[in-house]
Amino acid sequence: MGNQVYEGKCASCHGPQLQGLIGPNLTDEFWIHGQGTRLDIMKVISEGVADKGMPPWGPLLKKDEMLSLTALVHSKKGSSPPNPKLPQGQKAQN
């Protein structure tokens, strides 16, 4: 389900492999909002980032869609897709 939601809502800005296009690369260890934890990812998906043009998906997604999408993004960290967008934000603290 996470893949389906991602393809329909996120891929146009973050790329088909989460490598970043208009939006940031979601596979590296750099994060603009938070540290890339599941809670940080869910918060950004839910609330959006208005000044960056990312809509708040929370009101539009069902709970299981939100959880699946969050799990997908979290699982792709470190996946090293081809042609990733350059890092943005701060390196996550482990």
**Per-residue pLDDT, 93:** 85
Q: List, as one string, the DSSP characters of 6-73.
A: HHHHTHHHH-TTS--SSSPPSSSSEESSSSS-HHHHHHHHHH-BGGGTB---TTTS-HHHHHHHHHHH
pTM over 0.75: yes
| pLDDT for 94 beyond 90 | no
Q: What percent of the chain has pLDDT over 90?
A: 97
| Number of domains present in the structure of the chain | 1
Say which residue the tokens 């350059």 belong to.
86
CATH number of the domain that residue 59 is part of: 1.10.760.10
Residue 38 forms part of a structural domain: yes
Neighbours of 54 (CB within 10 A): 19
Say which residue the tokens 């596979």 belong to.
27
Residue 39 forms part of a structural domain: yes
* Tens of pLDDT, residues 24-41: 999 999 999 999 999 999
